[in-house]
Structure 1
Amino acid sequence: MADSAGKGRARGANLEYAIGLARALAGALIFAFPLVMTMEMWWIGFYIAPLRLFLFLLLGLGMLAGLAYYSGFEPSDGVLDAVLDGLVAFGVGFLCSLAVLWMLGLLDGEMGWRGAVGMVAIQAVPAGIGAVAARQQFGDASGEGKQDRAGYPAQLFLMAAGALFLAFNVAPTEEMILITFKMSPRQVLGLAAISILLLHLLVYTVGFAGQERFPEGAGFWSTFFTYTLVGYAIALLLSAYVLWTFGRTDGTAPELVVMMSVVLGFPAALGAAIARLVV
Protein backbone atom coordinates (compact mmCIF):
# COMPACT_ATOMS: atom_id res chain seq x y z
CA MET A 1 0.00 0.00 0.00
CA ALA A 2 2.82 2.37 0.93
CA ASP A 3 4.74 1.45 -2.24
CA SER A 4 1.65 2.12 -4.34
CA ALA A 5 1.16 5.53 -2.70
CA GLY A 6 4.82 6.38 -3.21
CA LYS A 7 4.66 5.47 -6.89
CA GLY A 8 1.53 7.56 -7.25
CA ARG A 9 3.26 10.59 -5.73
CA ALA A 10 6.29 10.02 -7.99
CA ARG A 11 4.05 9.86 -11.07
CA GLY A 12 2.28 13.01 -9.95
CA ALA A 13 5.60 14.82 -9.43
CA ASN A 14 6.85 13.68 -12.85
CA LEU A 15 3.63 14.81 -14.49
CA GLU A 16 3.86 18.19 -12.77
CA TYR A 17 7.46 18.60 -13.92
CA ALA A 18 6.51 17.64 -17.50
CA ILE A 19 3.74 20.26 -17.45
CA GLY A 20 6.27 22.76 -16.13
CA LEU A 21 8.63 21.97 -19.00
CA ALA A 22 5.78 22.39 -21.49
CA ARG A 23 5.03 25.82 -20.00
CA ALA A 24 8.72 26.66 -20.17
CA LEU A 25 8.83 25.81 -23.86
CA ALA A 26 5.76 27.92 -24.52
CA GLY A 27 7.25 30.83 -22.57
CA ALA A 28 10.56 30.57 -24.42
CA LEU A 29 8.80 30.58 -27.79
CA ILE A 30 6.52 33.52 -27.04
CA PHE A 31 8.98 35.74 -25.19
CA ALA A 32 11.95 35.15 -27.52
CA PHE A 33 10.17 35.28 -30.85
CA PRO A 34 10.60 39.07 -31.40
CA LEU A 35 14.37 38.69 -30.99
CA VAL A 36 14.59 35.58 -33.16
CA MET A 37 12.94 37.59 -35.94
CA THR A 38 15.34 40.55 -35.54
CA MET A 39 18.16 40.76 -38.09
CA GLU A 40 20.57 42.58 -35.78
CA MET A 41 20.39 39.67 -33.33
CA TRP A 42 21.50 37.26 -36.07
CA TRP A 43 24.65 39.26 -36.79
CA ILE A 44 25.58 39.84 -33.15
CA GLY A 45 26.21 36.11 -32.83
CA PHE A 46 28.88 36.39 -35.53
CA TYR A 47 30.86 39.39 -34.36
CA ILE A 48 30.47 39.35 -30.56
CA ALA A 49 33.79 38.87 -28.78
CA PRO A 50 34.05 35.45 -27.07
CA LEU A 51 34.82 37.04 -23.68
CA ARG A 52 31.77 39.29 -23.87
CA LEU A 53 29.59 36.35 -24.89
CA PHE A 54 30.95 34.27 -22.01
CA LEU A 55 30.30 37.05 -19.47
CA PHE A 56 26.82 37.58 -20.85
CA LEU A 57 25.99 33.87 -20.61
CA LEU A 58 27.41 33.77 -17.07
CA LEU A 59 25.25 36.73 -16.05
CA GLY A 60 22.28 35.16 -17.80
CA LEU A 61 22.67 31.86 -15.99
CA GLY A 62 22.91 33.63 -12.64
CA MET A 63 19.79 35.63 -13.40
CA LEU A 64 17.90 32.53 -14.55
CA ALA A 65 18.81 30.72 -11.32
CA GLY A 66 17.60 33.68 -9.25
CA LEU A 67 14.37 33.92 -11.20
CA ALA A 68 13.83 30.18 -10.89
CA TYR A 69 14.06 30.57 -7.12
CA TYR A 70 11.46 33.33 -6.97
CA SER A 71 9.06 32.48 -9.80
CA GLY A 72 10.29 29.51 -11.81
CA PHE A 73 8.37 27.33 -14.20
CA GLU A 74 7.99 24.89 -11.30
CA PRO A 75 8.17 25.51 -7.53
CA SER A 76 11.77 25.30 -6.30
CA ASP A 77 12.68 23.72 -2.96
CA GLY A 78 15.96 25.52 -2.37
CA VAL A 79 18.99 27.21 -3.87
CA LEU A 80 20.41 24.06 -5.47
CA ASP A 81 17.02 23.22 -6.96
CA ALA A 82 16.76 26.78 -8.32
CA VAL A 83 20.23 26.52 -9.90
CA LEU A 84 19.25 23.27 -11.61
CA ASP A 85 15.97 24.81 -12.79
CA GLY A 86 17.94 27.79 -14.11
CA LEU A 87 20.18 25.45 -16.10
CA VAL A 88 17.12 23.62 -17.41
CA ALA A 89 15.53 26.96 -18.42
CA PHE A 90 18.72 27.92 -20.26
CA GLY A 91 18.73 24.54 -21.99
CA VAL A 92 15.10 25.01 -23.01
CA GLY A 93 15.91 28.49 -24.32
CA PHE A 94 18.93 27.18 -26.24
CA LEU A 95 17.03 24.30 -27.85
CA CYS A 96 14.03 26.51 -28.62
CA SER A 97 16.24 29.17 -30.26
CA LEU A 98 18.14 26.50 -32.20
CA ALA A 99 14.92 24.92 -33.48
CA VAL A 100 13.28 28.21 -34.50
CA LEU A 101 16.41 29.62 -36.18
CA TRP A 102 16.86 26.37 -38.11
CA MET A 103 13.17 26.24 -39.05
CA LEU A 104 13.37 29.78 -40.44
CA GLY A 105 16.38 28.84 -42.56
CA LEU A 106 18.78 31.09 -40.64
CA LEU A 107 21.20 28.30 -39.75
CA ASP A 108 23.12 26.53 -42.49
CA GLY A 109 26.41 24.74 -42.96
CA GLU A 110 28.10 27.70 -44.64
CA MET A 111 28.17 29.96 -41.58
CA GLY A 112 30.49 27.70 -39.57
CA TRP A 113 30.04 26.34 -36.07
CA ARG A 114 31.25 29.48 -34.28
CA GLY A 115 28.71 31.74 -35.96
CA ALA A 116 25.91 29.23 -35.40
CA VAL A 117 26.76 28.72 -31.72
CA GLY A 118 27.05 32.47 -31.16
CA MET A 119 23.73 33.14 -32.88
CA VAL A 120 21.90 30.54 -30.81
CA ALA A 121 23.66 31.30 -27.50
CA ILE A 122 22.90 35.02 -27.61
CA GLN A 123 19.21 34.16 -28.09
CA ALA A 124 19.18 31.54 -25.32
CA VAL A 125 19.22 34.00 -22.40
CA PRO A 126 16.03 35.95 -23.27
CA ALA A 127 14.38 32.68 -24.30
CA GLY A 128 15.43 31.24 -20.94
CA ILE A 129 13.89 34.21 -19.13
CA GLY A 130 10.68 33.47 -21.03
CA ALA A 131 10.91 29.85 -19.90
CA VAL A 132 11.33 30.89 -16.26
CA ALA A 133 8.51 33.45 -16.50
CA ALA A 134 6.14 30.82 -17.91
CA ARG A 135 4.72 29.85 -14.51
CA GLN A 136 3.97 33.47 -13.65
CA GLN A 137 2.31 34.09 -17.01
CA PHE A 138 0.69 30.77 -17.93
CA GLY A 139 0.66 28.67 -14.78
CA ASP A 140 -1.06 28.74 -11.43
CA ALA A 141 0.55 31.71 -9.73
CA SER A 142 -2.14 32.00 -7.08
CA GLY A 143 -1.16 32.33 -3.46
CA GLU A 144 1.88 33.86 -1.90
CA GLY A 145 5.08 33.12 -3.72
CA LYS A 146 8.67 33.71 -2.68
CA GLN A 147 8.69 37.05 -4.47
CA ASP A 148 5.89 38.23 -2.18
CA ARG A 149 8.19 37.60 0.79
CA ALA A 150 11.36 38.86 -0.89
CA GLY A 151 13.51 41.34 0.99
CA TYR A 152 15.11 44.51 -0.31
CA PRO A 153 18.05 42.88 -2.22
CA ALA A 154 15.70 40.37 -3.82
CA GLN A 155 13.30 43.12 -4.90
CA LEU A 156 16.19 44.92 -6.58
CA PHE A 157 17.19 41.67 -8.27
CA LEU A 158 13.69 41.23 -9.68
CA MET A 159 13.78 44.82 -10.96
CA ALA A 160 17.13 44.10 -12.62
CA ALA A 161 15.70 41.00 -14.30
CA GLY A 162 12.73 42.94 -15.65
CA ALA A 163 14.99 45.75 -16.84
CA LEU A 164 17.33 43.37 -18.65
CA PHE A 165 14.49 41.48 -20.28
CA LEU A 166 12.70 44.49 -21.73
CA ALA A 167 15.88 46.36 -22.68
CA PHE A 168 17.16 43.28 -24.49
CA ASN A 169 14.25 43.47 -26.92
CA VAL A 170 15.40 46.80 -28.38
CA ALA A 171 19.11 47.02 -27.53
CA PRO A 172 20.33 45.19 -30.67
CA THR A 173 18.47 47.45 -33.10
CA GLU A 174 20.02 50.26 -35.11
CA GLU A 175 17.12 52.48 -34.06
CA MET A 176 18.64 52.86 -30.59
CA ILE A 177 21.69 54.59 -32.09
CA LEU A 178 19.57 56.67 -34.50
CA ILE A 179 17.32 57.90 -31.69
CA THR A 180 20.36 58.91 -29.63
CA PHE A 181 21.78 61.00 -32.47
CA LYS A 182 18.43 62.70 -33.06
CA MET A 183 17.92 63.72 -29.42
CA SER A 184 19.35 66.85 -27.86
CA PRO A 185 20.96 66.75 -24.38
CA ARG A 186 17.91 68.54 -22.99
CA GLN A 187 15.62 65.87 -24.43
CA VAL A 188 17.82 63.14 -22.97
CA LEU A 189 17.56 64.72 -19.51
CA GLY A 190 13.80 64.95 -19.97
CA LEU A 191 13.66 61.27 -20.94
CA ALA A 192 15.60 60.35 -17.80
CA ALA A 193 13.13 62.31 -15.65
CA ILE A 194 10.15 60.67 -17.37
CA SER A 195 11.73 57.23 -16.91
CA ILE A 196 12.10 57.83 -13.16
CA LEU A 197 8.55 59.16 -12.88
CA LEU A 198 7.03 56.23 -14.77
CA LEU A 199 9.08 53.74 -12.78
CA HIS A 200 7.70 55.12 -9.53
CA LEU A 201 4.12 55.45 -10.78
CA LEU A 202 3.95 51.99 -12.32
CA VAL A 203 5.43 50.32 -9.27
CA TYR A 204 3.51 52.05 -6.49
CA THR A 205 0.60 54.11 -7.78
CA VAL A 206 -1.55 53.05 -10.72
CA GLY A 207 -2.86 49.79 -9.27
CA PHE A 208 -1.56 47.07 -11.58
CA ALA A 209 -2.06 43.52 -10.38
CA GLY A 210 0.89 42.41 -8.29
CA GLN A 211 2.31 45.91 -7.92
CA GLU A 212 4.38 46.80 -4.89
CA ARG A 213 3.00 48.21 -1.66
CA PHE A 214 4.85 50.99 0.10
CA PRO A 215 7.23 49.36 2.59
CA GLU A 216 5.77 49.43 6.09
CA GLY A 217 6.76 52.55 7.93
CA ALA A 218 8.43 54.12 4.87
CA GLY A 219 7.36 57.50 3.58
CA PHE A 220 7.27 58.75 0.02
CA TRP A 221 10.81 60.11 -0.07
CA SER A 222 12.33 57.10 1.63
CA THR A 223 10.68 54.78 -0.89
CA PHE A 224 11.57 57.07 -3.77
CA PHE A 225 15.27 57.10 -2.92
CA THR A 226 15.68 53.47 -1.83
CA TYR A 227 13.55 51.81 -4.51
CA THR A 228 12.77 54.12 -7.42
CA LEU A 229 16.12 55.88 -7.83
CA VAL A 230 18.11 52.72 -7.06
CA GLY A 231 15.95 50.80 -9.52
CA TYR A 232 16.60 53.41 -12.21
CA ALA A 233 20.33 53.31 -11.50
CA ILE A 234 20.24 49.53 -11.98
CA ALA A 235 18.36 50.00 -15.25
CA LEU A 236 21.01 52.46 -16.48
CA LEU A 237 23.91 50.20 -15.50
CA LEU A 238 22.34 47.20 -17.21
CA SER A 239 21.62 49.31 -20.29
CA ALA A 240 25.27 50.36 -20.49
CA TYR A 241 26.36 46.75 -19.96
CA VAL A 242 24.11 45.41 -22.73
CA LEU A 243 25.31 48.13 -25.11
CA TRP A 244 28.91 47.19 -24.30
CA THR A 245 28.16 43.50 -24.80
CA PHE A 246 26.72 44.18 -28.24
CA GLY A 247 29.68 46.39 -29.20
CA ARG A 248 27.61 49.56 -29.39
CA THR A 249 30.03 51.48 -27.18
CA ASP A 250 33.22 50.58 -29.07
CA GLY A 251 34.95 53.73 -30.30
CA THR A 252 32.09 55.88 -29.03
CA ALA A 253 32.57 59.10 -27.11
CA PRO A 254 31.69 58.82 -23.38
CA GLU A 255 28.92 61.41 -23.62
CA LEU A 256 27.25 59.42 -26.41
CA VAL A 257 27.53 56.25 -24.34
CA VAL A 258 25.73 58.03 -21.50
CA MET A 259 23.04 59.27 -23.87
CA MET A 260 22.56 55.81 -25.38
CA SER A 261 22.30 54.35 -21.89
CA VAL A 262 19.58 56.86 -20.98
CA VAL A 263 17.67 56.08 -24.19
CA LEU A 264 17.88 52.34 -23.55
CA GLY A 265 17.21 53.04 -19.88
CA PHE A 266 13.68 54.13 -20.79
CA PRO A 267 12.44 50.63 -21.73
CA ALA A 268 14.72 49.17 -19.05
CA ALA A 269 13.00 51.31 -16.40
CA LEU A 270 9.60 50.18 -17.65
CA GLY A 271 10.81 46.59 -17.44
CA ALA A 272 11.99 47.17 -13.88
CA ALA A 273 8.62 48.67 -13.00
CA ILE A 274 6.59 45.73 -14.30
CA ALA A 275 9.05 43.05 -13.22
CA ARG A 276 6.55 41.41 -10.86
CA LEU A 277 4.01 41.20 -13.67
CA VAL A 278 6.51 39.60 -16.06
CA VAL A 279 8.81 37.51 -13.90
Structure 2
Amino acid sequence: MAAADQTAVTNRDYAIGLIRAFAGAIIFAIPLLMTMEMWALGFTMDPVRLLLFMLLNFAVLLGLTHFAGFEATHGLRDALCDALAAYAVGVIASAGALALIGIVAPGMPWGEIAGKIAVQAIPASIGAVVARRQLSADSDDEEQAEKQRRAGYLGQLFLMAAGALFLAFNVAPTEEMILIAFKMTPWHGLATIIVSVLVLHAFVYVAGFSGQEEIGEAGHRATFLTFSIAGYGVALLVSLYVLWTFGRTDGVSIGEVATMVAVLGLPASLGAAIARLIV
Protein backbone atom coordinates (compact mmCIF):
# COMPACT_ATOMS: atom_id res chain seq x y z
CA MET A 1 0.00 0.00 0.00
CA ALA A 2 1.31 3.46 -0.93
CA ALA A 3 2.32 5.81 1.87
CA ALA A 4 -0.45 8.25 0.95
CA ASP A 5 -3.06 5.49 1.04
CA GLN A 6 -1.75 4.25 4.38
CA THR A 7 -1.96 7.76 5.81
CA ALA A 8 -5.53 8.14 4.55
CA VAL A 9 -6.53 4.84 6.19
CA THR A 10 -4.85 5.85 9.45
CA ASN A 11 -6.59 9.24 9.48
CA ARG A 12 -9.95 7.62 8.70
CA ASP A 13 -9.50 5.09 11.50
CA TYR A 14 -8.58 7.86 13.93
CA ALA A 15 -11.63 9.90 12.89
CA ILE A 16 -13.86 6.87 13.48
CA GLY A 17 -12.19 6.40 16.85
CA LEU A 18 -12.98 10.01 17.77
CA ILE A 19 -16.63 9.57 16.78
CA ARG A 20 -16.84 6.50 19.01
CA ALA A 21 -15.09 8.45 21.78
CA PHE A 22 -17.72 11.22 21.65
CA ALA A 23 -20.49 8.61 21.65
CA GLY A 24 -18.94 6.86 24.66
CA ALA A 25 -18.48 10.15 26.48
CA ILE A 26 -22.15 11.07 26.14
CA ILE A 27 -23.46 7.58 26.92
CA PHE A 28 -21.36 7.17 30.07
CA ALA A 29 -21.87 10.73 31.33
CA ILE A 30 -25.55 11.31 30.49
CA PRO A 31 -26.91 10.32 33.95
CA LEU A 32 -24.61 12.83 35.65
CA LEU A 33 -25.15 15.50 33.01
CA MET A 34 -28.79 15.55 34.12
CA THR A 35 -28.15 15.40 37.87
CA MET A 36 -28.79 18.58 39.87
CA GLU A 37 -26.12 17.83 42.49
CA MET A 38 -23.48 17.65 39.76
CA TRP A 39 -24.46 21.08 38.49
CA ALA A 40 -24.05 22.50 41.99
CA LEU A 41 -20.67 20.84 42.51
CA GLY A 42 -19.30 22.81 39.59
CA PHE A 43 -19.25 26.00 41.64
CA THR A 44 -19.29 24.71 45.25
CA MET A 45 -16.39 22.24 45.20
CA ASP A 46 -13.09 23.19 46.76
CA PRO A 47 -10.95 24.23 43.74
CA VAL A 48 -7.90 22.43 45.13
CA ARG A 49 -9.82 19.17 45.52
CA LEU A 50 -11.29 19.55 42.04
CA LEU A 51 -7.84 20.13 40.53
CA LEU A 52 -6.47 17.10 42.40
CA PHE A 53 -9.37 15.00 41.12
CA MET A 54 -8.73 16.16 37.55
CA LEU A 55 -5.05 15.19 37.83
CA LEU A 56 -5.97 11.80 39.29
CA ASN A 57 -8.50 11.28 36.52
CA PHE A 58 -5.86 11.99 33.89
CA ALA A 59 -3.55 9.42 35.52
CA VAL A 60 -6.42 6.88 35.36
CA LEU A 61 -7.03 7.76 31.70
CA LEU A 62 -3.36 7.24 30.96
CA GLY A 63 -3.53 3.74 32.44
CA LEU A 64 -6.82 2.88 30.75
CA THR A 65 -5.59 3.89 27.31
CA HIS A 66 -3.03 1.10 27.57
CA PHE A 67 -5.87 -1.44 27.90
CA ALA A 68 -8.70 0.11 25.88
CA GLY A 69 -7.83 3.36 24.17
CA PHE A 70 -10.12 4.49 21.37
CA GLU A 71 -7.37 3.39 19.02
CA ALA A 72 -4.64 0.79 19.45
CA THR A 73 -1.71 2.17 21.46
CA HIS A 74 1.94 1.23 21.19
CA GLY A 75 4.06 2.74 23.94
CA LEU A 76 3.86 5.64 26.37
CA ARG A 77 3.70 8.33 23.69
CA ASP A 78 0.60 6.82 22.08
CA ALA A 79 -1.03 6.31 25.48
CA LEU A 80 -0.33 9.93 26.43
CA CYS A 81 -1.81 11.22 23.17
CA ASP A 82 -4.87 9.01 23.65
CA ALA A 83 -5.35 10.23 27.22
CA LEU A 84 -5.09 13.88 26.16
CA ALA A 85 -7.53 13.27 23.31
CA ALA A 86 -9.97 11.50 25.64
CA TYR A 87 -9.83 14.38 28.12
CA ALA A 88 -10.44 16.87 25.30
CA VAL A 89 -13.39 14.79 24.08
CA GLY A 90 -14.79 14.71 27.63
CA VAL A 91 -14.51 18.50 27.95
CA ILE A 92 -16.05 19.23 24.54
CA ALA A 93 -18.86 16.69 24.94
CA SER A 94 -19.68 17.95 28.46
CA ALA A 95 -19.63 21.59 27.39
CA GLY A 96 -21.89 20.89 24.43
CA ALA A 97 -24.37 18.81 26.44
CA LEU A 98 -24.54 21.32 29.32
CA ALA A 99 -25.07 24.16 26.87
CA LEU A 100 -27.78 22.18 25.06
CA ILE A 101 -29.84 21.70 28.23
CA GLY A 102 -29.22 25.25 29.45
CA ILE A 103 -27.01 24.48 32.45
CA VAL A 104 -24.23 26.68 31.11
CA ALA A 105 -25.13 29.81 29.20
CA PRO A 106 -23.70 33.19 28.21
CA GLY A 107 -23.72 35.62 31.10
CA MET A 108 -22.74 33.08 33.76
CA PRO A 109 -19.46 33.68 35.62
CA TRP A 110 -16.58 32.00 33.82
CA GLY A 111 -15.51 30.26 37.01
CA GLU A 112 -18.94 28.62 37.35
CA ILE A 113 -18.95 27.51 33.71
CA ALA A 114 -15.44 26.07 33.94
CA GLY A 115 -16.23 24.26 37.19
CA LYS A 116 -19.38 22.63 35.82
CA ILE A 117 -17.62 21.47 32.69
CA ALA A 118 -14.55 20.25 34.61
CA VAL A 119 -16.64 18.06 36.94
CA GLN A 120 -18.72 16.56 34.14
CA ALA A 121 -15.66 15.94 31.95
CA ILE A 122 -14.32 13.34 34.40
CA PRO A 123 -16.91 10.57 33.72
CA ALA A 124 -17.21 11.69 30.09
CA SER A 125 -13.49 11.23 29.49
CA ILE A 126 -13.59 7.73 30.96
CA GLY A 127 -16.47 6.92 28.62
CA ALA A 128 -14.39 8.22 25.71
CA VAL A 129 -11.53 5.87 26.61
CA VAL A 130 -13.60 2.68 26.89
CA ALA A 131 -15.67 3.46 23.79
CA ARG A 132 -13.39 1.36 21.55
CA ARG A 133 -14.13 -1.81 23.51
CA GLN A 134 -17.84 -1.16 23.98
CA LEU A 135 -18.86 0.45 20.69
CA SER A 136 -16.48 -1.11 18.17
CA ALA A 137 -17.47 -4.17 16.20
CA ASP A 138 -13.81 -4.94 15.44
CA SER A 139 -12.20 -4.46 18.85
CA ASP A 140 -9.48 -7.02 19.53
CA ASP A 141 -10.58 -8.77 22.73
CA GLU A 142 -7.59 -11.15 22.59
CA GLU A 143 -5.16 -8.25 22.39
CA GLN A 144 -6.77 -6.50 25.34
CA ALA A 145 -6.88 -9.71 27.37
CA GLU A 146 -3.18 -10.29 26.70
CA LYS A 147 -2.37 -6.76 27.86
CA GLN A 148 -4.31 -7.37 31.07
CA ARG A 149 -2.48 -10.64 31.68
CA ARG A 150 0.89 -8.97 31.20
CA ALA A 151 -0.09 -6.17 33.59
CA GLY A 152 0.03 -8.63 36.50
CA TYR A 153 -1.42 -8.24 39.96
CA LEU A 154 -0.95 -4.47 40.24
CA GLY A 155 -2.52 -4.01 36.82
CA GLN A 156 -5.61 -5.94 37.92
CA LEU A 157 -5.89 -3.78 41.05
CA PHE A 158 -5.57 -0.67 38.88
CA LEU A 159 -8.45 -1.80 36.67
CA MET A 160 -10.53 -2.47 39.77
CA ALA A 161 -9.73 1.02 41.09
CA ALA A 162 -10.72 2.59 37.76
CA GLY A 163 -14.03 0.71 37.70
CA ALA A 164 -14.69 1.58 41.33
CA LEU A 165 -13.95 5.26 40.67
CA PHE A 166 -16.37 5.42 37.76
CA LEU A 167 -19.38 3.90 39.54
CA ALA A 168 -18.65 5.60 42.86
CA PHE A 169 -18.48 8.93 41.05
CA ASN A 170 -21.93 8.29 39.58
CA VAL A 171 -23.70 8.11 42.95
CA ALA A 172 -21.46 9.96 45.43
CA PRO A 173 -22.78 13.46 44.58
CA THR A 174 -26.42 12.53 45.22
CA GLU A 175 -28.30 13.34 48.42
CA GLU A 176 -29.87 9.86 48.37
CA MET A 177 -26.55 8.29 49.30
CA ILE A 178 -26.35 10.45 52.44
CA LEU A 179 -29.96 9.60 53.27
CA ILE A 180 -29.29 5.87 52.92
CA ALA A 181 -26.27 6.11 55.23
CA PHE A 182 -28.33 8.06 57.79
CA LYS A 183 -31.14 5.49 57.83
CA MET A 184 -28.88 2.43 58.09
CA THR A 185 -28.19 0.59 61.34
CA PRO A 186 -24.77 -0.98 62.11
CA TRP A 187 -26.26 -4.35 61.12
CA HIS A 188 -27.30 -2.93 57.76
CA GLY A 189 -23.75 -1.65 57.31
CA LEU A 190 -22.25 -5.04 58.12
CA ALA A 191 -24.65 -6.79 55.75
CA THR A 192 -23.77 -4.30 53.01
CA ILE A 193 -20.06 -5.04 53.43
CA ILE A 194 -20.60 -8.80 53.26
CA VAL A 195 -22.86 -8.55 50.20
CA SER A 196 -20.40 -6.21 48.48
CA VAL A 197 -17.52 -8.66 48.91
CA LEU A 198 -19.57 -11.66 47.80
CA VAL A 199 -20.96 -9.86 44.75
CA LEU A 200 -17.48 -8.70 43.73
CA HIS A 201 -16.14 -12.24 44.04
CA ALA A 202 -19.07 -13.73 42.16
CA PHE A 203 -18.83 -11.25 39.30
CA VAL A 204 -15.08 -11.68 38.88
CA TYR A 205 -14.66 -15.43 39.40
CA VAL A 206 -17.93 -17.36 39.55
CA ALA A 207 -20.67 -16.04 37.26
CA GLY A 208 -18.94 -16.88 33.97
CA PHE A 209 -19.01 -13.40 32.44
CA SER A 210 -16.83 -12.60 29.45
CA GLY A 211 -13.37 -11.49 30.54
CA GLN A 212 -13.65 -12.78 34.09
CA GLU A 213 -10.60 -14.01 36.00
CA GLU A 214 -9.66 -17.66 36.41
CA ILE A 215 -9.07 -19.18 39.81
CA GLY A 216 -5.32 -19.32 40.21
CA GLU A 217 -3.18 -22.29 41.16
CA ALA A 218 -3.19 -21.09 44.76
CA GLY A 219 -6.85 -22.08 45.02
CA HIS A 220 -10.13 -20.44 45.97
CA ARG A 221 -9.10 -19.23 49.43
CA ALA A 222 -5.91 -17.49 48.32
CA THR A 223 -7.68 -16.01 45.30
CA PHE A 224 -10.50 -14.73 47.49
CA LEU A 225 -8.01 -13.01 49.80
CA THR A 226 -5.59 -11.62 47.22
CA PHE A 227 -8.13 -10.45 44.65
CA SER A 228 -11.66 -10.22 46.06
CA ILE A 229 -10.78 -8.87 49.51
CA ALA A 230 -8.01 -6.71 48.07
CA GLY A 231 -10.36 -5.44 45.37
CA TYR A 232 -12.96 -4.54 47.96
CA GLY A 233 -10.28 -2.72 49.95
CA VAL A 234 -9.44 -0.73 46.82
CA ALA A 235 -13.15 0.05 46.34
CA LEU A 236 -13.38 1.35 49.93
CA LEU A 237 -10.31 3.57 49.49
CA VAL A 238 -11.74 4.96 46.27
CA SER A 239 -15.08 5.56 48.00
CA LEU A 240 -13.42 7.44 50.86
CA TYR A 241 -11.43 9.57 48.45
CA VAL A 242 -14.50 10.47 46.37
CA LEU A 243 -16.47 11.36 49.50
CA TRP A 244 -13.63 13.59 50.68
CA THR A 245 -13.37 15.24 47.27
CA PHE A 246 -17.05 16.14 47.30
CA GLY A 247 -16.86 17.41 50.87
CA ARG A 248 -19.07 14.67 52.28
CA THR A 249 -16.64 13.92 55.12
CA ASP A 250 -16.24 17.50 56.32
CA GLY A 251 -17.48 17.94 59.89
CA VAL A 252 -18.80 14.38 60.06
CA SER A 253 -18.05 11.85 62.80
CA ILE A 254 -15.86 8.81 62.08
CA GLY A 255 -18.84 6.48 62.52
CA GLU A 256 -20.91 8.37 59.96
CA VAL A 257 -17.99 8.44 57.54
CA ALA A 258 -17.57 4.67 57.94
CA THR A 259 -21.25 4.13 57.16
CA MET A 260 -21.10 6.36 54.08
CA VAL A 261 -18.00 4.52 52.88
CA ALA A 262 -19.78 1.18 53.32
CA VAL A 263 -22.79 2.46 51.37
CA LEU A 264 -20.68 3.87 48.55
CA GLY A 265 -18.52 0.75 48.68
CA LEU A 266 -21.40 -1.30 47.25
CA PRO A 267 -21.55 0.42 43.84
CA ALA A 268 -17.77 0.90 43.96
CA SER A 269 -17.24 -2.85 44.41
CA LEU A 270 -19.62 -3.49 41.50
CA GLY A 271 -17.53 -1.12 39.41
CA ALA A 272 -14.36 -2.93 40.48
CA ALA A 273 -15.97 -6.26 39.59
CA ILE A 274 -17.09 -5.31 36.07
CA ALA A 275 -13.96 -3.33 35.18
CA ARG A 276 -12.54 -6.19 33.10
CA LEU A 277 -15.87 -6.61 31.32
CA ILE A 278 -15.93 -3.02 30.04
CA VAL A 279 -12.20 -2.35 29.60
1:206 is displaced (CA, Å) by 0.6
Question: Conserved in 2, the CA contact under 8 Å of 1:68 and 1:76?
Answer: yes
1:116 is displaced (CA, Å) by 0.7
**What's the counterpart of residue 32 of structure 1?**
29
Mapped pair 1:13 → 2:14? no
Segments of structure 2 that go 5 or more residues without pairing to the other structure are: none
Question: Conserved in 2, the CA contact under 8 Å of 1:196 and 1:229?
Answer: yes
TM-score (norm 2): 0.96
Q: Quote the Cα distance in structure 2 between the aligned partners of 1:25 and 1:147.
A: 25
Q: Quote the Cα distance in structure 1 between the aligned partners of 2:218 and 2:32.
A: 39
1:242 is displaced (CA, Å) by 0.5
Q: Quote the Cα distance in structure 2 between the aligned partners of 1:236 and 1:276.
A: 18
Q: Secondary structure at the match of 1:214?
A: coil
Q: Quote the Cα distance in structure 1 between the aligned partners of 2:91 and 2:15.
A: 18
Amino acid corresponding to residue 64 of structure 1 in structure 2? L
1:80-102 deviation per Cα after TM superposition (whole angstroms, max 9, x unaligned): 21111111101100000000000
Q: Secondary structure at the match of 2:108?
A: helix
**What's the counterpart of residue 151 of structure 1?**
152
**What's the counterpart of residue 58 of structure 1?**
55
**What's the counterpart of residue 130 of structure 2?**
133
Q: Report matched runs for 1:163-242 at 5 Å.
A: 163-215=164-216, 217-242=217-242
Question: Conserved in 2, the CA contact under 8 Å of 1:94 and 1:120?
Answer: yes
Question: Conserved in 2, the CA contact under 8 Å of 1:180 and 1:260?
Answer: yes
Runs of 4+ in 1 over 4 A off after TM superposition: none
Q: Quote the Cα distance in structure 1 between the aligned partners of 2:208 and 2:160.
A: 17
Amino acid corresponding to residue 17 of structure 1 in structure 2? Y
Mapped pair 1:112 → 2:109? yes
Q: Report matched runs for 1:260-271 at 5 Å.
A: 260-271=260-271
- Percent of aligned positions with the same letter in both sequences? 55
Question: Conserved in 2, the CA contact under 8 Å of 1:71 and 1:147?
Answer: no
Q: Secondary structure at the match of 2:71?
A: coil
TM-score (norm 1): 0.96
Instruction: Please report the RMSD computed on the Cα atoms of aligned residues, expressed in angstroms.
Output: 1.0
**What's the counterpart of residue 83 of structure 1?**
80
Amino acid corresponding to residue 262 of structure 1 in structure 2? A
1:148 is displaced (CA, Å) by 4.2
Q: Quote the Cα distance in structure 2 between the aligned partners of 1:278 and 1:125.
A: 17
Q: Secondary structure at the match of 2:73?
A: coil
Q: Secondary structure at the match of 2:88?
A: helix
1:108 is displaced (CA, Å) by 2.0
Segments of structure 1 that go 5 or more residues without pairing to the other structure are: none
1:168 is displaced (CA, Å) by 1.0
Q: Quote the Cα distance in structure 2 between the aligned partners of 1:110 and 1:41.
A: 20
Bigger drift between 129-138 and 79-88 goes to 79-88
Amino acid corresponding to residue 180 of structure 1 in structure 2? A
Q: Quote the Cα distance in structure 2 between the aligned partners of 1:214 and 1:74.
A: 31
Bigger drift between 57-66 and 140-149 goes to 140-149
Amino acid corresponding to residue 251 of structure 2 in structure 1? G
Amino acid corresponding to residue 120 of structure 1 in structure 2? I
Q: Secondary structure at the match of 1:109?
A: coil
Alignment length (residue pairs) = 275
Amino acid corresponding to residue 59 of structure 2 in structure 1? G
